[in-house]
Amino acid sequence: DVEIGMGSLTQSFGIVGQVEQLEIKRIEVDPINGQLRIERVHLHEPDVSLFLGPSGPDDEEESQSWFVSVKQVDVHEGHVKLDMSDASLSAAMQKVTPSPYLDYQHLNLENVSLSAHDILYDTNLIRATIDDLRAQETYSGLDVMQLHASVEMEDEDLSVKDLDLHLNNGAMLLGEVETQLAILDSLHHGYLNASLQCKLDSANLFRLAAPYLPALTHYWEGEMLAVAVEGRLTGDSLDLRKLDLSIDNDVDLKAEAFGLYPFDNEQRSVAATIKTELNHADYLLSAFVEAPNKRDYRLPDSLALELEATQRQQLFSGRLDVRQQERDVLGAEGSYELKQERYH
């Protein structure tokens, strides 16, 4: 049986559970200075619950801050439950209602195989390099075939670099992300820096993004979505330097956007350029409106659209160009003043 708890002024971390076989090589403990150094840990068939969250008043008064360093960790055939919403053992052990999509604060991992090195825990800092992780997240059904990443979390700041994630059905995610965990609760809080490339089938897209992209995950049932994105999002600004989106062989979209106060309509200042080519456009339209046999209009098989749009507080303006089979069929520009409800 294993039960470990550590706390600081802002965070608590703990483990409770059982391990079938535990091997530890070269361990140094300094209880006076609160230091623990281990060269290697090998766990076979662990069944553990981990919690990570803000400290309570008792943690601040009673818990000693520890520095923990492990050079190498290997896990085989493990079961790991993770709770990041509460800093208590009771929270880590509580029963969580399974969700059809991934709940990033409550994970239930089966068949865990892990190889990691340079693991460090120091007051408000957690750092590790994951060489290889394979597991099934049973709440959502997510199947991690391979994961490599360098992860660092300091207070609420999370950094994931050299990310190389492969899921079942050929889904993959590559790149790096820097964010504050508060943004998982609301886009109005924290920040998100991302440089990512991903390919996702509809099932894995739903598992990963359903809480954040409900419309897309509801309507799309295609084979593969590919995205490359570079940008920064905060509560008062958006800088989308690159967005390349491809859905099956039907949609090819490129976009750039810049905005100040994107979540405040009274102060919003946004500029965006969107270019897209649509194959089987009428089929795509059917996902949002009636089927072709229930309406008296059809879209052509191939369309190319280019949109430039801006908003300056109460003034919206834009230009739209539409091409069909490389011929211009529509060019339009206009503006709208929100307060006066006036079009130009």
Q: Which of 143, 153, 149 is nearest to 112 (CA)?
A: 143
pLDDT tens sequence across 17-74: 888 888 999 999 988 888 999 999 999 999 988 776 655 445 444 556 789 999 999 9
How many whole angstroms separate alpha carbon 115 and alpha carbon 72?
Answer: 8
d(CA 172, CA 9): 38
Contact 255, 275 (CB under 8 A): yes
What does the pLDDT average to over 229-252?
Answer: 86
CA neighbor of 158 nearest in space, from 141, 180, 134, 138: 180
- pLDDT band for position 221 (50/70/90)? low
> H helices of the chain, where?
57-62, 89-93, 202-209, 214-219, 281-285
Taken in order 227, 189, 220, 293, the sign of the CA dihedral is negative
The Cα 215–Cα 226 span in angstroms is 17
Highest mean pLDDT among 75-84, 129-138, 303-312: 129-138
d(Cα 146, Cα 160) in Å, to the nearest integer?
Answer: 15
Average pLDDT over residues 276-302: 78
* Per-residue confidence (pLDDT) for residue 69, from 0 to 100: 94
Confirm if 196 and 208 have CB atoms less than 8 A apart: no
User: For 62, phi and psi rounded to 5 degrees?
Assistant: -105, -30
Q: Who has greater pLDDT, 3 or 65?
A: 65
State what percent of residues in the chain have pLDDT above 70.
81
Average pLDDT, whole number, for the chain? 81
Give the three-class secondary structure for 317: strand
Start-to-end CA distance of the chain, whole Å, equals 73
State the average pLDDT over residues 121-138.
Answer: 92
pLDDT band, very low/low/confident/very high, at 86 (cuts 50, 70, 90):
low
Q: Write the pLDDT tens digit of every residue in 157-200.
A: 899 999 999 998 889 999 999 998 777 666 667 788 999 999 98
More confidently predicted of 96 and 303? 303
Tens of pLDDT, residues 97-107: 666 778 777 88
Higher pLDDT, 189 or 314: 314
pLDDT at position 33: 86
Please tell me the predicted confidence (pLDDT) of residue 89. Answer: 47
The secondary structure of 151-198 as a DSSP string is EEEETTEEEEEEEEEEEGGG-EEEEEEEEEGGGGT-TTSSEEEEEEEE
Selected residue with higher pLDDT from 103 and 8: 103
Q: What would you measure as the largest C-alpha separation in the chain, in angstroms?
A: 80
Q: What is the pLDDT of residue 92?
A: 46
The per-residue pLDDT for 2 is 46
Residues with Cβ within 8 Å of residue 9, at least 6 apart in sequence? 55, 60, 123, 124
Q: Would you say the pTM of this structure is higher than 0.85?
A: no
Are β-strands 67-83 and 35-53 bridged in parallel, bridged antiparallel, or unpaired? parallel
Residue 287, pLDDT above cutoff 80:
no
335 or 214, higher pLDDT: 335
- Measured in whole angstroms, the distance separating CA 71 from the mean position of its chain's CA atoms is 28
User: Could you tell me the pLDDT band of residue 9, with boundaries at 50, 70 and 90?
Assistant: very low
pLDDT (mean) for 294-314: 86
Point out which residues pair with 286 in neighbouring strands.
none
